[in-house]
Chain A
Amino acid sequence: MLDIRDLSVRVEDREVLHGINLQIGGGETHVLMGPNGSGKSSLLMTIMGFGNYSVTSGSILFKGTDITQMPIHERAELGIGMLFQRPPAIAGLKLGKLLTATSQLGGEAVEALAQSVNMEDFLTRDINVGFSGGEIKRSEVLQLKVQQPEFIMLDEPESGVDLENMALMGREVAHLLEKDVHIIDRHRSGLIITHTGYILDYVDADQGHVMIDGQIRCHGNPREILKVVQEKGYKECLRCKQM
């Protein structure tokens, strides 16, 4: 579904990603770990197409189409969706209005979908204005439920979320990624940035990657990588690269 080849990315004067290679097949969920500032969010922002992230070499293929220079909204139309860690608050823009404008399921579906993530009282609120951490995440999940993307990127879905919201988030993300569908019939793919790995209690991941200093240093079983990092820290991943 997603095929990233030798991707280097610059933000202003600084190269933040160096020669990234990453392939995610249909129905697969991958996890991206790595220390703060290593470039994980930059990779997601680049895949989504944000203007600050300019690709200096390499390419991004999505469902066989080269999207490297494609505008953001066309990528969204192709089926890429993203759960933002810190989305902007936009005064005056009602959450319900945005959902109706972007709904792939028709405007009528919005109310019921909002109820499914306890957001029905937020439809008339300005988007993300005065939302708590958990509310922001529920709003993001709701936007993705309305958008129905085939490939979903989640930037730290656990951050700022309490235990109760974590369970709801986990359940919803699993549903979005068709974890309740038999593996043969599962088409949707995901790329999840996580520090804590809590999301893995709800969403089984197929592959893990560790990013350090703008490079993917190792690949492997996500649970095992998490265990190594928890016990020995990311320096172990540096050693892994040196081997």
Chain B
Amino acid sequence: MQTDVNELEQLSQKDKERLALTGLDLEMTNRCGSFFQIDQDVVHTSCAAEGIEILPIAVALEKYDWVSDYCWKAVPKDKDKYTEYVAKQEMPQGVVVIAHEGARSETPLQACLFLRQEKVQHVHNIVIAREGSEIHLISGCASSAQKEHGAHLGVTEIYVGKNAKVTSTMIHNWSPGISVFPRSMAIVEEGGIFLSNYVCMQPVKKIQMYPTARLAGKGAVGRFSSIVVGTPGSHLDLGSRAILGAEGTSAELITRAITTGGTIISRGHVLGETDKTRGHIECKGLILKDGIIHAIPEIEGHLTGTELSHEAAVGKIARHEIEYLMSRGLNEEEATATIIRGFLDVKISGLPEVLQKQIDDAIDKAESGF
């Protein structure tokens, strides 16, 4: 356990609010563990759940020699210039979450990465869910309200063991001058389940990511859900990939994208390498104002026993849907907001209340310009 309460208390009220929007619960009422990094300093780690540990990466590597076996195994060091940058750091920072065999917690663990002053924040996170364990992570990434320019480079390696389950909900709340390059990869063993949720509804300069799940064990399941809003000036190049690498594996990639003037590239790739596998990509985009939504769903089958499908639709809200709701007494703004809320409903479990409110606020803002 390590806590620097002063650091947390010193944050301005505005920064605390920004953190709350990413799902960070400073009171820890609905959290079983917590990790908090400001720039390159780990200021807080704690965990109350039995069999589950949250450790700064340096501590984890020291405590368990086997943790190094998981280091740069899923994400290659030389994947691109960003991974190379993170790999060459002499003082790597980031969080290691370990759920020991059979350990389970339905209450989420939170990891918060806050960019306050430094030009570049780099993290290397490792999540190890051993056989039969179950954990829910909420990772919030944000930048200080005063932070105008900067970059966040995050490498995350997730190992879902046999019959283990990992839910990872990532909420981004950056500023218009920040560029973000997460590099994530999950390896899911036999009977394992990996659920990844991603929400980004605030302005950002650029986000580029393509998290991948390799379903390596029999019957493993992967699911990516993304809710994104592209505001004017934002460039979001997002995607998710699932590799169906063992018999009986299945994956679903779901995206809801709204642009109010920004550019969203929504990629998706399901690769069916093995027999008796199923994969589906669903991308729905709404253009509320001039902006670009470019959906690029790819399905790639390498043999007869894989069943892959995709559906993508980009457009505006259908006028007759708005009018239908108006005939029940809702005014045009209410009807529009009701339809957009429905559009964004992809059933993200474990979504914090403040975030739900943030989504509602974002919709209200979006709708005023509709």
Which residues of A are at the interface with B, using a C-beta cutoff of 8 A? 48-51, 71-73, 75-77, 81-82, 84, 87-88, 90-94, 97-98, 101-102, 126, 143, 147
Contact = CB atoms under 8 A, between A and B. Distances in A.
A73 B329 CA distance: 4
- Which range holds the interface residue count of chain B? 20 to 34
Contacts of A48: 327
22 contacts: A50-B323, A51-B319, A51-B323, A71-B326, A72-B323, A73-B327, A73-B329, A73-B331, A73-B332, A76-B326, A81-B327, A91-B342, A91-B343, A93-B341, A97-B338, A98-B328, A98-B338, A101-B330, A101-B338, A102-B329, A126-B342, A147-B329
Contacts of A71: 326, 331-332
B199 to A, nearest CB: 16
Lowest 8 A-B CB distances belong to which pairs?
Answer: A92-B342, A93-B342, A92-B345, A72-B326, A76-B329, A73-B326, A102-B328, A73-B331
A126 B342 CA distance: 9
B321 to A, nearest CB: 5
A73 B345 CA distance: 25
Contacts of B328: 76, 98, 102, 143, 147
A84 B323 CA distance: 12
A49 B345 CA distance: 29
A16 B45 CA distance: 70
Interface of B: 318-321, 323-332, 334-335, 338-339, 341-346
A88 B320 contact: yes
Given A73-B329, A92-B342, A101-B338, 17 more contacts: A71-B326, A72-B323, A72-B327, A73-B326, A73-B335, A76-B326, A76-B327, A76-B328, A82-B327, A90-B321, A92-B345, A92-B346, A93-B338, A93-B339, A101-B330, A102-B328, A147-B329
A77 B325 CA distance: 12
Contacts of B324: 84, 87-88, 90
B141 to A, nearest CB: 26
B323 A90 contact: no
A77 B327 CA distance: 9
Contacts of A93: 338-339, 341-342, 345
Q: For A72, A77, A88, which residue has the most chain B Cβ atoms within 10 angstroms? A: A72
A206 B342 CA distance: 41
B318 A73 contact: no
Given A71-B332, A73-B331, A73-B332, A92 B326 contact: no
Contacts of B318: 88
Nearest to B340: A92
B227 to A, nearest CB: 11
